[in-house]
Structure 1
Amino acid sequence: MTRRVLVAYGTTNGSTAQLANAVAEVLREAGLAVETRPAREVTSLESCDAVVVGGALYAGRWHRDARRLVHRRRGDLAARPVWFFSSGPLDASASERDIPPVRGVRRAMIRVDARGHATFGGRLEQGAKGRMAKMIIDSGKGGDYRDFAAVRRWATGVADELTRG
């Protein structure tokens, strides 16, 4: 039986959506049926066997859409395998060491018995929405710190767990 996986994400400027698509690509390559959707559009989890939820980090908090999805669907999430990922550090730290989930994500992981979490570097570039984003870019601290090889390695681990006999 092919397992059906939902990869949902909360993003403001599209960077986390690109990470979610990279995760979905690895899961598809492993033979899984994958749907990728913005977290705010997820109204039901009935059609999926497993879920990956990703959220951008802003000022130490997971994106509102990811938080709301987990809160609204916590019972459904707890009934199936779930993984979380975060994106956000605007430096190389996520590629250099394992960064634990922020407090709110850690609490959500406990509530739904999530199997794992990874933090990936973020991206913030010219044209990003929001006053704080503009201030960060103007201060010279923006850039693209995503490590797609790390994303693929992590997603491969998720796929291995889902396809194991």
Structure 2
Amino acid sequence: MTTSSSPRIAVLYATAQGSTRDIAEFLCDNLVARGATAALHDIAHAPDLSTIDTVVIGSAIHDMDLLPEATAYLRHNLNTLAGKDVWLFSVGLGPALRGPLGRWAGRQVPRKIAAVLGMLHPHDYIPFAGRYEREGVSWRARTMYRMLGGARYGDLRDWQAVREWSTRIGDALALPHAPASVVQP
């Protein structure tokens, strides 16, 4: 008789204001609900990857780049990650932009992130929207946000898109489907 163990997954995140952590937590919970052995870690406290099969990594985007701790982790662990099934996501404003110019801008992968993707070759990369609060945002940044089709402030996360990506990961890992009501954002 053959026994198959559940995939061992590390879900790592680098966050600035919590949106990325929330998405990473949702992904981890969803994968556990589907039968994976998954653990959530701040990227600064990432586990030893020698016992990990799949790595899901998320980072907030600031100044059109992943957070410095995420970029440093990826560069430092590039050889180890090359032998793993890696999934990468980012959290920023791009997916929340509307209108022709905003949708175009939202589809662009920033040059620094494209360089990381070229080195890492993840199974998949997806950008998600996060939270964007008006407080502390300069007049110039608010104007640019509006010009690019930013319609509102607050929680801009699309939990259905996060759920669909989590389903793609689970399906790629051949995990059983969890009951629909198990994981809710």
TM-score computed with the length of structure 1 as normaliser: 0.83
Aligned 1:6-155 pairs, distance under 5 A: 6-42=10-46, 44-89=48-93, 92-93=96-97, 99-125=107-133, 134-136=136-138, 139=142, 142-155=153-166
Deviations 1:66-108 (A, max 9, x none): 11111111111110100100111177239x7873532222222
Kept in 1: contact 2:88–2:122 (CA 8 A): yes
Q: Secondary structure at the match of 1:46?
A: helix
Give ranges in structure 1 of 5+ residues lacking alignment. Answer: 128-133
Partner of 2:169: 158
RMSD: 2.6
Task: Please report how far the alpha carbon of residue 9 of structure 1 lies from its aligned counterpart in structure 2 after TM superposition.
Answer: 0.7
Q: Which has the larger Rg?
A: 2
Partners in 1 of 2:94 and 2:121 — Cα distance? Answer: 28
Q: Secondary structure at the match of 1:2?
A: coil
Q: Secondary structure at the match of 2:109?
A: coil
Partners in 1 of 2:74 and 2:41 — Cα distance? Answer: 14
Partner of 1:130: none
Change (3 A) 1:4 1:43: closer
User: What code does the residue aligned with 1:120 have?
Assistant: F
Change (3 A) 1:125 1:83: same
Partners in 2 of 1:153 and 1:102 — Cα distance? Answer: 23
Task: Please report how far the alpha carbon of residue 42 of structure 1 lies from its aligned counterpart in structure 2 after TM superposition.
Answer: 1.5
Change (3 A) 1:100 1:22: farther
Kept in 2: contact 1:100–1:119 (CA 8 A): no
Task: Please report how far the alpha carbon of residue 4 of structure 1 lies from its aligned counterpart in structure 2 after TM superposition.
Answer: 0.5
Kept in 2: contact 1:30–1:163 (CA 8 A): no
Change (3 A) 1:51 1:136: farther
Partners in 1 of 2:134 and 2:45 — Cα distance? Answer: 27
TM-score computed with the length of structure 2 as normaliser: 0.75
